Structure formats: structure tokens, C-alpha cells
């Protein structure tokens, strides 16, 4: 029995929580960025003029943004700071909202008190590329929460930052924990494993026996059913510990922190009764195993330590209960069966290595092998793999010394089948006559490697990295017509191979397959030999024994089954070199064609994360690399390199052709790491990350649309979403950091959505949750969607427009008050934003404009709406524009509101504005910005009511109204009820206009076929954007999918007066870095309208007259023989004089009159007429519109009508 020595701890160390620290970090989609600060103290802390937050961009050592904190934090409560441009769900949680330029994933953050840093996230003065960390525990596109046991900030500004040590990660846009934080500040007594285990008496128990609240950290080196073993690096005596734990399930390589009680369980020191368990990191290198004899292994100091004993013999194969014993001559050691291994011991078996952690049970120390490779037999695991007795006199330079020699080019190849090196020192190699070679000291064959013994000469080849020797006797003297080759070890055991006349054919004899082939065949006849006569040091196909086929590493599943395995070699051709500064920190290799398998689901390429290992490779190099197989954010790679060898050069494999769409997004996995080519047209469908990461979203079959823009929510929408993913791929520039010169991006010639590529070739990569093609050659886009400097003109009396201003705030109105809550972060940003918006609104040439996301600061001379009107009047003429004042202090309680701008010279106000909010109709959610309605009248007394709305965001948080997974996002019920309330409100004529003509414009945060839009359509409203622009209309792009969140809806009587609608695509197709923010390079800024907002403006052309009473019964336009033949019929033609016909070449173009003179009517008030017209200028994509002219001068429009490929009538 082991004796017990107690040491009483004089103090228990407890982390003191007293100062503020960062407790949550959100770097989500778009502008969804927030920070949570926790107050662990027992009293409130005042923030004003004491605390601030600083952002350090792109490795800067000086702050780029400083945000003074305002207010106070209650004890054990949080304070939430949110970016002013974030979505409503974040803004609703905020204690403080700040504008200005916020952080990205590669920017450091500091929390300061009186100018002193008290917590830092990131590493100030260092640019990590795109992020710190990896996977969801990284600073880019994720939410991070401080671990419960962290109670103090990181105050070292420039130390290496690994978020996994103190933070837990969550996927993009996880907001559910913001505003609350839990801590466990009592961390217990933190001790090393050595302090827990070491005792002066080697037979004694732990000095901490039965003491609880003990915290220790280690790397998991063994895992069994209800227990595991942890060790401290670099290993050694007293540095291992058994842990009894049936709850948590770590894996080998995890670095974990435990809090528990130290006990002696069956006299083995064990940590149990855990109260704390935390994985600090994964895939760590394991401490090297210690080595002992079978006698010295039975010692207290090795308990819990992975130990190896070598060159042992099984002395008793069955001690009962799965135990057996081994001996290296120094004494017996028990072996137990806690682990999972297939070896069945037999008496007198000779084993090269037995390895595992040392256990103690039933009065015996014993070794616990973990898996098969912990038990390595000898003798039979070294095989004679290839024999070359008859070198070819013309092509027989097997030893590659430049001389063909029939004796010196003979060789014998030995292969190590085991999972550890085997020492052959002193072993002997013989033929049938005598010993030809004695292996010198230090003759080891590496794990899964080989050794070649040539007859003589001066071998100079690479030989696959094999160990090379020449016969110590000066010759192997192999008989061509038959001989015996025998290998004898130092224990009298031998293996031998006998061959006959088949050896006399100018080529070697080889096992087929290598290593475990049961017989020898002529090399040229072996599988995958491709006609070669010998392969010393290499497999039959010419690949190195030290290399694992890339398709074996990749497998046909997402995660390599070899992940975490060190010492793995690959051999391949460099197809992509990204080693230079700020690139991917490595290179891609692809298996040589002759060594590829025939499984279409296994990739033949892999990324070598060389981490500046020091060997410069070039595309076309044939290389051999040894390192650890790992999974980085889902990408299989080789890292932690120990060797990179340049073997030579090789022709590049032909790029593998792929075609989109795939049947499943998972199909990309089969090409990960390979050079691929898409021989098809691809369309740019997203440029959001063009500047920040040099990435472009591409799709097959034109741009991607939000599913509910074109199909119904639910199953149909989810099917389309799946198809979208299958059509999508992202193009990357191979850089880790924001590129110095972003590709395809400049103010005057930027890449826009809709541009195309005729084909694309590059390396398929995977990072940050996406497959990406890394460019290896210039990419030439075709500009298929050029900028339009002004919207399509319509020669009508009134234009109505709408634009979401993307948070226009003007500070205090005097040039101060920046940063603002949601808009500009400085005076310069405000000036830039205002200039761009003014030029946009003037460019619309509209007489009435609805705006959203306008600062809700009232209507006085310093208000944002007055400021915008001042800017418009300065850019045009004094008093050109005015705004609608509803006669109240502000509209609603939100920080942003809706507004109406108009030209008094064209339109008069009729009565007062009306407001729809929750107080008017309880269905109108309090979180929805109130709608504003105003009736206008032109100079001919034609009236219409103009309504502006802005419904709840899809990404918001609405209690009981979560995202249902049908494609409509969160808060859909709130938007639908708001639509119902708005329809009912307008039915009661809230402005007392006495007129049925209503035009609703706004950001309804719903796509064309979602529930809120159906409410309008089912009650008779017409969606004019859909009517004129079709199903491919869009005003906004989110996650590389386009659609119309912005809408123009008309009552039926108003719709008859709409003669055209368009969307001016100045924003949604453009990279966000062309906007007003100071963080963007100055050369990207221009005062023009492009990227003045994130939404495109809508524009309607109105012909304000009472509709004429003439109906069509038929309209058809048929394209045939390069001519469009048009036919239309009317039911009756009271007071009709005739028609003008208009044509547009597309839904984006203006209508042009194609009839030079009036087409006279042929009917009258009792009967209709029939009309025919041929248009040689028409095409299949043309649209047509009729203008009907009455004798009294009134007119009306019908259409647009599309062209049909056959006689398919459009009735009524």
C-alpha cells in the first residue's frame, strides 16, 4: 500500500473581480457589431469622462477610433455598446449607440480607464490577416463570450492573442446572450500536475489527498471509457495524472483545465468529482513518450505518464482479466486492456515497442496501451519488399550515381510496416552463400519508411527519402537465376525470401502491393508500375514510402480520419504558391496523375500550411512534405511541418473540370485543394467583401436572388435557397489581409454585380465556412452591368421616388456632436454622406421623395430633415424643396424615422400629414417606425396620397415572432400585421383627401412574395416595381442574394396613372467601401451618387389624370422572322381618338415611341376595334406599352406587355 503524506495549503488563491472587462464581442454580418462590458464589482461604476473604448485598425499602434462611454453600470451587470448602423435587434439592447468606423475581425480593441488600458481584445500593433483564432472561436464573423472563469481583463497590449484561451465562440449574428454575463470568479488553487503528483517518498500518495477545489491544466494523452489521462509538456516523471470523469468527453490532443478533488482510487492518484471542465484548445502536439525498462516502469513517478518500453518478450499471455506481462530482461511488467487494440499476446512473442500511460491497480503498476500502434511487433513488421538481382545493362543505373554497373546497381529494399522506427543496428543481410551486409550502429528505419542496400557505388538519388546504405562486404552478389535473401535480427529471428529464374529479366522483383503483397512479381507487371523497371526507396508507382497519398488523407468525408496525426508525409506537385507576405502562408500540392485514385469523391489536392518554414517552393516543383494532418475551420491541411524537400520539377496536372450547379454543396469537398476550372459563364452576385478580403461572390446562371423574391415562402423558398448554394462559389485573391491594392476596385471602374466571367481556373480552398477559388492567374471580368449616370427619364408631369438614406444624422446641427448614434462618425463623414445623398436625390429629378432612416430629431432649423432640404436647395435653386411637417415634436420614439420631401412648385399640400403608429392601431408593432401619409395635388387639381413606411428588420428580435425557417426571416408576423394595419388605415382616408388614389413607398423589409406583400396585393394594391421591372427586380443585396425590400404599391385607381417605374442601381451593385466612411481609402471617395446608401432608390413616373374608360380585350406581341407582330383589341372606344405605341429594349430601359403618328381608332362607344402593327426593331426581350389618346386631350396608358415566342394572347 502506498503511504500518504499531507501538505496543508496555506492559502486558496481566488481571482479578484473588481475592474470592468469586456465580456462579449460581436463581429457579425454587415454593420452588426457590438461590445458588452461587465462590472464584477459590488457597487455601480460611473463611466462618464472616465472610461472609453478604442479601436486599432489593421495593426496600427495608435487608435483610429475612440468612443467615450456614457452612463454607469450597476453591480454585476453589463453595459452594451452597439454600432449605430446595426440592425434593430442589436440597437434595442444597447445602453449606448455609437457611429463612426467600427472594427473588423483583424482590428484590436482596448477598454481604458483614465487613459490606462484595463482590457484588450487582440494584439495592438499587429495585423493577424483576417482574424485572430480559427473557426467559430475567431474574431471575424463570430460572436465571442468571455469564459465564466475569466474575471479580469488582459492588460498586456502586445502579447500574442489566442481567443480560445479566454473566449467561447458562437456563429455569425448570435445575439441571444447580449446584455447578461455569468462569472465564476473563485478559480480555486491552480497547481501544476507535478505539484499534485510529486512526493519525496516514491511509494507515497499525493500530497493533496482528498483536497478539493484544485485546478490544473494538461493535454489529454489517453482516453478510455470513463477516464482519461492528462500530461504537462514536455512530459517526464511526475507529470501525468489520471482523471475519472463520466460526463465530459475530451479527445486526445485537447488542452483542458479541470477543477476537482484529488483522491487515491485503488491507490492510484486521480482527480475526480469535477466541478470545472474547460477545453482551452484542441489538436495540440502530445508530450513525447518517456522511455524506461520493464523494471523501472513500475514506479510511482511514471503514474499517468505515457511510457514506452522496447524490445520485450511476452512472458505470460494471460494473467486473467485481460492482463498479460512482458519483459526486456530487467523484470516483468503487466500490460492491461483498458484501451482498444487488436493484438492478441502469445507466449514468447517479441515486440519492438509497447507504449501507454502507467496505471496502478491490484497492487501492480501496469502499462495501458491506447490503440494498435502502441503495440509494435518486430521481425514480421520489417519485410523484404524489393530485390534487384539483374540490372539492365542499358537502363540499369538504379543507384543513380551516373554509372551503369551490373553489380553495384543491385539492391535490396526493406520496408518498415510498423508505426515507429525500428533499429537494425547489428542485424545481418545474407544471400544463400554468406553474409553480405552488417547494419552499422544507428541503422534505423523510420516509421512506415524503408531502407535500401545497394551492391555498391556512390548512390546519389533522392530515393523517396529512404535510408540508403551500400553492402558492407562490397557486394550483394545476388544470383540472377535464383537466390535466397535472409534478414537476421539480434535475437536469432530471421525472415527470408527465395526467388528463381524470374529474377533474370533486367528488372527488379517486388511485392505487389508494396509491403504486404504475398508474392513477388516482375516490376513492369506490377499494378501502377507504368512500365518502370525498378523503384528503390519508393512504392511501385514511384511515390515515396514516407508519403501518404493525398486522397487517403482527404478521404471521401468532410473531416480527415487522420486529423491530429503527426509525422505524415505527402508528395506532390505544387499547383499554387501562396508563401509570400500576407498571402495564405503556404502552398497547395496535388498528387501526380499516375498516383491518383479512381474515386471521384476523394480530393487529390491539399494545402500545406508551411508557416514560413523556410523552403521556397515554386509552381511546378515536385515536393515531399512531412507534418501533422489537421482540420483548420473545416479545411484539411498539413501543418507543424518537420520537413520540406524539393525533389525536382514536374509538368502540372491539367485542371480538373467542374460544372455548376452541383447536386449538393457538399460536392465541393471532392475537389478541396485541387486546381480546378469552371468552363462556363459565371456572374458576379456579391462584392460585399471585395475590399476587406479581396473576395467576390460568383454564381452560375446569372445572379442569385433571395428565394422569396421569386417563389413562395416555405418548401419552395427553401428549395431555391438550396439551389442557390449549389450555384454559388466565392473567388478569392489569396491574401490573408486587406489587400494593399484591392482587386477590381476603384472609384471610376469598380466591379459591379452582374459582371461576368467566361470561365475561371484556380485552387479550391476552404476557410471561414466557405469554399473559395484562389486565383493563380489574372481574372478578366466582362462589364455586363455598367453604371447608369442618371435614372431612365420619363417625359411625364410628376415623378415619385423613395430612398433609404442609410442613417443620415447631422450631429448637433452646428458641425459638432460626432460620432452620432447611428450615422456619421465624424464631421468629415457627415459632410461626405450629405454630399452624396444630395447628389443622389437631385439626380432622381422627382417632385416627391420618401425617405427612411432619417435621424428622428424633429423639424426645427437644426434637424436632419431641414439640413437635407437645405442641401437640396443649395444644389438646385432656393426653395426648390421642402419637407412635410406633421406638426409634432418627432415621429415615434426610434432613433430613425421616415420623411417626405417635395417640390412646392409642382405639388401642393392638401390638408395635414397623418401618422400611423401603435397608438392608432395595436397591430402596428411599437418597434415599427411610424408611417407618414400626406395628400398632394398638382396644378390640375389631381390628388393622390403619398405614404412612406419602414417595417421591422428580418434580423430583428421580436418576442414570439422568431425566424420560422421559411425564408421570411424574423419579425414576419410584425411586418404582416403592420401591412394589415396600414391597408385598413388608408381605407379610412386618414388625410381626409376625399380621393382613392394612394401611393405607398418604403423599405418594407419583405421580398416580393412574402406575407406582407400578399396583404397589399390581396386587397387590390399593385406592386409597380414588379409590374414594370418583373421578377428579377432588386433594390438590395444581402449575403450575395438580390431582391426588393423596397416597394412601390398603388391603389387600383392610382395604378392606372403610373406609366413607368424603375430602380436606379447606384448602390446595391457597388462595393460598400465606395461610401462615405473615412476608414475607406481616400481615392475611393467621390461625391457622386454611387454607393450613397446600401439600398437603391425607386422611381415612379406618374401621369396624374382620371383614368379613361377604355379596356383591352387582347394584346399580343409575337416575335417571328426578326419582326415583332403586335395585335390588340378593345371592348369599346368611347371618345377615343387613337393610340401611340411605345417600345423598351429591356425592363431597365426607357420607353420610346415607335409610331410617328397616331394610330386612329376603328371602334366607337358601342364596339371595340382591332389593330395590327409590325415592329422590325423589336426583339424577344422587348416590352410594349400603349398610350390611349381621347378627343378631349386626356390620355391613359396600359402595359407593359412582353413579347411571346408564339401566339400566346394576353387578355384584358
Say if strands 1036-1038 and 943-950 run parallel, antiparallel, or are unpaired: unpaired
Q: 1112-1202, which class in CATH?
A: mainly beta
Condensed to tens digits (0 to 9), the pLDDT of residues 798-816 reads 899 999 999 999 999 999 9
Say if strands 332-335 and 364-367 run parallel, antiparallel, or are unpaired: parallel
Condensed to tens digits (0 to 9), the pLDDT of residues 598-642 reads 888 999 999 999 988 989 999 999 999 999 999 887 899 999 998
pLDDT at 1212 over 50: no
Average pLDDT over the chain reads 90
Alpha helices in 24-108 (DSSP H): 88-91
Candidates 837, 848, 899, 909; CA nearest to 874 is: 837
Average pLDDT over residues 694-715: 95
Candidates 552, 629, 562, 550; CA nearest to 593 is: 550
Candidates 647, 641, 576; CA nearest to 614 is: 641
Average pLDDT over residues 261-271: 93
1030 band by pLDDT with thresholds 50, 70 and 90: confident
Cell of 96: 449606448
Q: What is the pLDDT of residue 180?
A: 87
* φ and ψ at residue 967, rounded to 5 degrees: 95, -5
Q: What is the pLDDT of residue 377?
A: 72
Question: Does residue 846 have a cis bond before it (omega within 30 degrees)?
Answer: no
Q: What is the pLDDT of residue 1210?
A: 43
Say if strands 1136-1144 and 323-327 run parallel, antiparallel, or are unpaired: unpaired
Contact 149, 259 (CB under 8 A): no
Average pLDDT over residues 750-765: 96
Q: How far apart are CA 271 and CA 231, in angstroms?
A: 13
> Cβ of 381: how many Cβ atoms within 10 Å?
18
10 band by pLDDT with thresholds 50, 70 and 90: very low
Q: What is the pLDDT of residue 28?
A: 92
Q: What is the pLDDT of residue 543?
A: 87
281 band by pLDDT with thresholds 50, 70 and 90: low
pLDDT at 1 over 70: no
Q: How far apart are CA 974 and CA 170, in angstroms?
A: 27
Q: How far apart are CA 286 and CA 231, in angstroms?
A: 9
- Residue 259's SS3 state is strand
Q: What is the pLDDT of residue 1208?
A: 45
- Integer angstrom CA distances of residue 25 from 70, 149, 224, 955: 19, 17, 37, 18
Condensed to tens digits (0 to 9), the pLDDT of residues 910-943 reads 999 999 999 999 999 998 999 999 999 999 899 9
DSSP assigned state of 875: H
Q: Say which residue the cell 371595340 belongs to.
A: 1168
Condensed to tens digits (0 to 9), the pLDDT of residues 85-138 reads 888 788 888 999 887 789 999 999 999 998 889 999 999 999 898 899 988 899
DSSP class per residue in 153-211:
----TTS---GGGTEEEE-TT--TTTT---------EE--HHHHH--SSTTB--TTTT-
Average pLDDT over residues 738-743: 69
pLDDT at 2 over 90: no
Q: What is the pLDDT of residue 18?
A: 58
pLDDT at 197 over 70: yes
Q: 658-775, which class in CATH?
A: mainly beta
Q: What is the pLDDT of residue 792?
A: 65
Q: How far apart are CA 267 and CA 206, in angstroms?
A: 10
Q: What percent of the chain has pLDDT over 70?
A: 95
Q: 550-653, which class in CATH?
A: mainly beta
More confidently predicted of 708 and 1151: 708
1209 band by pLDDT with thresholds 50, 70 and 90: very low
**Architecture of the domain made up of 798-1102:** 4-Layer Sandwich (3.60)
Q: How far apart are CA 240 and CA 232, in angstroms?
A: 7
Q: Say which residue the cell 533486367 belongs to.
A: 506
Q: What is the pLDDT of residue 11?
A: 27
**SS3 of 1036-1078:** EEECCEEECCEEEEECHHHHCCEEEEEECCCCCCCCHHHCCCC
Contact 250, 220 (CB under 8 A): yes
**Architecture of the domain made up of 289-377:** Beta Barrel (2.40)
Greatest mean pLDDT among 57-66, 968-977, 1115-1124 lies in: 968-977
DSSP class per residue in 900-951:
EEE-TTT-EEEEEEEEE-TTT-TTS-TTSEEEEEEEEE-TT--EEEEEEEEP
Q: What is the pLDDT of residue 796?
A: 57
Q: Say which residue the cell 414594370 belongs to.
A: 1028
Q: What is the pLDDT of residue 547?
A: 85
For residues 698-710, b (16+ Cβ closer than 10 Å) or e, as one string?
Answer: bbbeebbbbbbbb
Which CATH number applies to 379-525? 2.60.40.1260
Residue spans per domain, the chain: 21-170, 289-377, 379-525, 550-653, 658-775, 798-1102, 1112-1202
Cut 0.75: pTM above it: no
Q: What is the pLDDT of residue 5?
A: 27
Say if strands 494-499 and 483-488 run parallel, antiparallel, or are unpaired: antiparallel
- Integer angstrom CA distances of residue 321 from 242, 337, 376: 21, 8, 22
DSSP assigned state of 1025: H
pLDDT at 740 over 90: no
pLDDT at 876 over 70: yes
pLDDT at 9 over 50: no
Condensed to tens digits (0 to 9), the pLDDT of residues 744-755 reads 776 677 999 999
Condensed to tens digits (0 to 9), the pLDDT of residues 384-408 reads 999 999 998 887 899 999 999 999 9
795 band by pLDDT with thresholds 50, 70 and 90: low
Length of the chain equals: 1212
Radius of gyration of the chain (CA): 39
Query: What are the strands of the beta sheet with 483-488, ordered from one edge?
Result: 435-438, 428-430, 483-488, 494-499
pLDDT at 17 over 50: no
Say if strands 605-608 and 1112-1120 run parallel, antiparallel, or are unpaired: unpaired
Question: For residue 475, what are the contacts with CB-CB under 8 A and spacing of at least 6?
Answer: 407, 410, 436, 455, 456
Domains 550-653 and 658-775 fall in the same CATH topology: yes
Question: For residue 1179, what are the contacts with CB-CB under 8 A and spacing of at least 6?
Answer: 1119, 1124, 1145, 1203
pLDDT at 1197 over 90: no
Question: Does residue 927 have a cis bond before it (omega within 30 degrees)?
Answer: no
Condensed to tens digits (0 to 9), the pLDDT of residues 827-860 reads 999 999 999 999 999 999 999 999 999 999 999 9
Contact 1130, 1113 (CB under 8 A): yes
Q: What percent of the chain has pLDDT over 90?
A: 63
Q: What is the pLDDT of residue 380?
A: 62
More confidently predicted of 952 and 419: 952
- Integer angstrom CA distances of residue 353 from 193, 204, 291, 374, 745: 27, 29, 10, 7, 60
Counting beta carbons within 10 angstroms of the beta carbon of residue 157, is it exposed (0 to 12), middle (13 to 18) or buried (19 or more)? middle
Q: How far apart are CA 545 and CA 85, in angstroms?
A: 57
Average pLDDT over residues 186-209: 77
Average pLDDT over residues 1119-1126: 90
CATH of the domain spanning 21-170, picked from 1.10.357.140, 2.60.40.1260, 3.90.180.10, 3.40.50.2020: 2.60.40.1260
Amino acid at each position: 500500500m502506498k503511504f500518504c503524506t499531507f501538505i496543508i495549503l496555506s492559502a486558496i488563491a481566488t481571482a479578484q473581480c473588481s475592474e470592468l472587462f469586456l465580456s462579449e464581442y460581436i463581429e457579425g454580418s454587415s454593420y452588426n457589431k457590438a461590445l458588452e462590458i461587465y462590472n464584477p464589482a459590488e457597487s455601480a461604476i460611473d463611466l462618464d469622462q472616465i472610461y472609453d473604448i478604442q479601436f486599432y485598425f489593421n495593426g496600427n499602434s495608435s487608435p483610429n477610433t475612440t468612443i467615450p462611454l456614457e452612463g454607469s453600470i450597476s453591480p454585476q451587470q453589463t453595459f452594451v455598446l452597439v454600432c449605430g448602423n446595426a440592425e434593430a435587434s442589436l440597437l434595442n439592447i444597447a445602453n449606448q449607440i455609437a457611429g463612426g468606423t467600427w472594427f473588423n475581425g483583424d482590428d484590436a480593441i482596448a477598454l481604458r480607464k483614465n487613459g490606462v488600458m484595463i482590457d484588450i481584445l487582440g494584439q495592438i500593433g499587429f495585423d493577424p490577416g483576417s482574424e485572430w483564432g480559427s473557426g467559430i472561436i475567431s474574431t471575424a464573423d463570430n460572436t465571442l463570450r468571455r469564459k465564466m472563469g475569466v474575471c479580469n481583463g488582459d492588460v498586456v497590449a502586445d502579447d500574442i492573442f489566442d481567443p480560445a484561451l479566454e473566449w467561447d465562440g458562437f456563429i455569425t449574428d448570435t445575439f441571444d446572450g447580449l446584455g447578461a454575463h455569468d462569472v465564476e470568479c473563485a478559480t480555486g488553487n491552480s497547481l501544476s500536475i507535478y505539484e499534485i503528483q510529486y512526493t519525496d517518498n516514491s511509494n507515497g500518495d499525493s500530497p493533496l489527498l482528498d483536497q478539493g477545489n484544485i485546478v490544473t491544466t494538461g493535454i489529454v494523452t489517453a482516453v478510455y471509457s470513463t477516464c482519461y489521462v492528462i500530461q504537462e509538456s514536455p512530459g517526464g516523471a511526475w507529470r501525468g495524472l489520471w482523471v475519472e470523469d463520466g460526463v465530459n468527453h475530451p479527445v486526445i490532443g485537447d488542452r483542458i483545465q479541470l477543477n476537482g478533488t484529488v483522491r487515491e482510487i485503488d491507490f492510484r492518484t486521480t482527480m475526480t468529482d469535477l466541478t470545472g471542465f474547460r477545453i482551452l484548445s484542441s489538436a495540440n502536439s502530445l508530450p513525447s513518450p518517456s522511455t524506461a525498462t520493464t523494471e523501472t516502469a513500475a514506479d510511482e513517478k511514471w503514474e499517468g505518464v505515457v511510457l514506452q518500453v522496447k524490445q520485450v518478450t511476452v512472458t505470460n499471455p494471460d494473467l486473467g482479466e485481460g492482463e498479460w506481462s512482458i519483459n526486456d530482461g530487467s523484470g516483468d511488467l503487466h500490460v492491461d486492456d483498458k484501451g482498444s487494440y487488436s493484438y492478441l499476446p502469445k507466449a514468447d512473442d517479441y515486440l519492438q515497442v509497447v507504449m501507454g500511460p502507467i496505471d496502478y491497480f491490484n497492487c501492480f503498476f501496469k502499462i495501458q496501451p491506447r490503440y494498435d500502434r502502441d503495440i509494435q511487433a518486430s521481425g514480421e513488421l520489417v519485410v523484404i519488399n524489393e530485390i534487384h538481382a539483374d540490372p539492365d545493362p542499358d537502363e540499369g543505373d538504379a543507384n543513380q550515381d551516373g554509372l551503369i554497373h551490373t553489380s553495384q546497381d543491385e539492391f535490396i529494399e526493406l520496408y518498415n510496416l510498423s508505426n515507429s522506427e525500428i533499429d537494425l543496428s547489428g542485424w545481418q543481410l545474407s544471400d544463400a552463400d554468406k553474409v553480405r551486409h552488417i547494419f552499422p550502429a544507428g541503422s534505423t528505419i523510420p516509421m512506415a519508411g524503408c531502407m535500401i542496400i545497394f551492391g555498391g557505388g556512390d548512390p546519389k538519388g533522392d530515393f523517396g527519402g529512404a535510408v540508403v546504405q551500400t553492402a558492407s562486404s562490397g557486394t550483394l552478389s545476388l544470383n540472377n537465376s535464383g537466390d535466397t535473401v535472409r534478414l537476421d535480427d539480434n535475437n536469432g529471428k530471421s525472415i527470408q525470401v527465395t526467388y528463381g529464374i524470374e529474377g533474370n529479366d533486367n528488372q527488379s522483383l517486388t511485392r505487389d502491393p508494396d509491403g504486404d503483397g504475398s508474392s513477388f512479381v516482375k516490376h513492369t507487371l506490377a499494378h501502377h508500375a507504368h512500365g518502370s523497371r525498378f523503384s528503390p526507396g519508393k512504392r511501385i508507382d514511384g511515390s515515396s514510402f514516407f508519403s501518404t497519398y493525398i486522397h487517403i488523407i482527404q478521404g471521401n468525408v468532410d473531416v480527415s480520419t487522420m486529423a491530429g496525426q503527426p509525422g505524415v508525409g505527402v508528395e506532390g506537385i505544387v499547383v499554387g504558391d501562396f508563401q509570400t507576405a500576407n498571402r495564405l502562408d503556404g502552398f497547395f500540392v496535388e498528387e501526380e496523375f499516375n498516383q491518383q485514385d479512381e474515386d471521384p469523391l476523394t480530393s487529390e489536392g491539399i494545402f500545406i500550411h508551411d508557416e514560413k518554414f523556410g523552403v521556397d517552393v515554386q509552381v511546378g516543383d515536385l515536393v515531399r512534405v512531412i507534418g501533422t494532418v489537421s482540420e483548420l475551420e473545416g479545411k484539411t491541411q498539413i501543418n507543424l511541418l518537420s520537413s520540406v524537400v524539393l525533389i525536382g520539377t514536374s509538368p502540372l496536372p491539367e485542371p480538373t473540370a467542374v460544372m455548376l450547379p452541383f447536386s449538393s454543396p457538399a460536392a465541393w469537398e471532392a475537389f478541396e485543394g485541387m486546381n480546378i476550372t469552371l468552363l462556363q459563364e459565371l456572374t458576379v452576385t456579391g462584392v460585399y467583401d471585395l475590399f476587406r478580403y479581396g473576395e467576390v461572390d460568383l454564381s452560375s446562371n446569372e445572379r442569385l436572388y433571395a428565394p422569396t423574391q421569386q417563389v413562395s415562402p416555405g418548401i419552395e423558398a427553401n428549395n431555391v435557397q438550396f439551389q442557390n448554394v449549389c450555384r454559388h462559389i466565392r473567388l478569392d485573391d489569396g491574401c490573408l489581409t486587406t489587400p494593399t491594392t484591392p482587386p477590381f476596385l476603384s472609384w471610376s471602374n469598380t466591379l459591379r454585380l452582374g459582371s461576368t466571367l467566361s470561365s475561371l481556373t484556380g485552387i479550391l480552398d476552404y476557410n471561414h465556412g466557405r469554399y473559395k477559388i484562389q486565383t493563380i492567374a489574372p481574372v478578366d471580368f466582362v462589364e455586363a452591368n455598367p453604371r447608369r449616370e442618371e435614372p431612365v427619364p420619363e417625359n411625364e408631369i410628376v415623378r415619385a421616388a423613395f430612398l433609404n438614406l442609410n442613417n443620415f444624422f447631422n450631429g448637433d446641427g452646428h458641425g459638432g456632436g460626432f460620432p452620432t448614434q447611428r450615422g456619421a462618425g465624424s464631421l468629415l463623414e457627415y459632410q461626405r454622406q450629405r454630399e452624396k445623398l444630395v447628389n443622389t436625390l437631385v439626380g432622381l429629378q422627382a417632385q416627391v421623395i420618401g425617405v427612411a432612416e432619417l435621424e428622428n430629431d424633429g423639424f426645427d432649423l437644426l434637424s436632419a430633415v431641414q439640413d437635407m432640404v437645405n442641401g437640396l436647395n443649395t444644389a438646385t435653386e432656393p426653395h426648390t424643396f421642402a419637407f412635410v411637417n406633421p406638426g409634432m415634436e418627432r415621429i415615434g420614439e426610434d432613433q430613425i424615422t421616415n420623411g417626405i420631401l417635395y417640390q412646392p412648385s409642382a405639388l401642393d399640400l392638401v390638408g395635414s400629414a397623418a401618422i400611423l403608429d401603435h397608438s392608432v392601431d395595436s397591430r402596428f408593432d411599437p418597434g415599427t417606425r411610424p408611417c407618414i401619409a400626406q395628400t398632394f395635388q398638382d396644378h390640375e387639381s389631381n390628388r393622390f396620397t403619398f405614404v412612406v413606411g419602414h417595417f421591422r428588420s428580418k434580423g430583428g428580435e421580436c418576442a414570439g415572432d422568431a425566424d420560422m425557417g421559411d425564408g421570411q426571416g424574423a419579425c414576419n408576423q410584425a411586418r404582416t400585421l403592420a401591412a394589415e394595419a396600414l391597408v385598413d388605415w388608408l381605407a379610412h382616408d386618414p388625410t381626409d383627401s376625399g380621393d382613392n388614389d394612394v401611393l405607398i413607398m418604403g423599405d418594407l423589409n419583405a421580398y416580393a412574395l412574402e406575407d406582407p406583400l400578399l396583404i397589399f396585393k390581396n386587397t387590390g394594391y399593385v406592386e409597380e416595381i414588379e409590374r414594370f421591372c418583373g421578377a428579377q427586380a432588386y433594390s438590395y443585396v444581402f449575403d450575395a442574394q438580390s431582391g426588393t425590400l423596397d416597394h412601390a404599391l398603388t391603389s387600383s385607381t392610382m395604378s392606372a396613372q403610373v406609366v413607368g417605374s424603375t430602380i436606379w442601381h447606384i448602390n446595391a451593385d457597388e462595393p460598400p467601401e465606395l461610401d462615405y466612411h473615412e476608414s475607406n481609402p481616400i481615392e475611393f471617395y467621390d461625391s457622386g451618387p454611387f454607393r450613397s446608401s446600401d439600398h437603391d432608390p425607386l422611381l415612379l413616373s406618374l401621369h396624374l389624370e382620371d383614368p379613361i374608360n377604355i379596356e383591352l380585350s387582347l394584346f399580343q406581341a409575337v416575335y417571328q422572322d426578326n419582326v415583332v407582330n403586335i395585335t390588340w383589341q378593345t371592348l369599346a372606344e368611347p371618345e377615343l381618338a387613337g393610340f401611340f405605341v411605345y417600345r423598351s429594349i429591356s425592363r431597365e430601359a426607357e420607353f420610346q415611341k415607335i409610331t410617328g403618328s397616331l394610330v386612329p381608332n376603328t371602334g366607337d362607344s358601342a364596339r371595340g376595334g382591332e389593330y395590327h402593327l409590325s415592329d422590325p426593331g423589336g426583339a424577344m426581350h422587348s416590352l410594349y406599352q400603349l398610350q390611349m389618346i381621347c378627343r378631349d386631350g386626356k390620355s391613359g396608358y396600359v402595359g407593359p406587355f412582353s413579347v411571346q415566342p408564339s401566339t400566346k394572347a394576353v387578355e384584358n
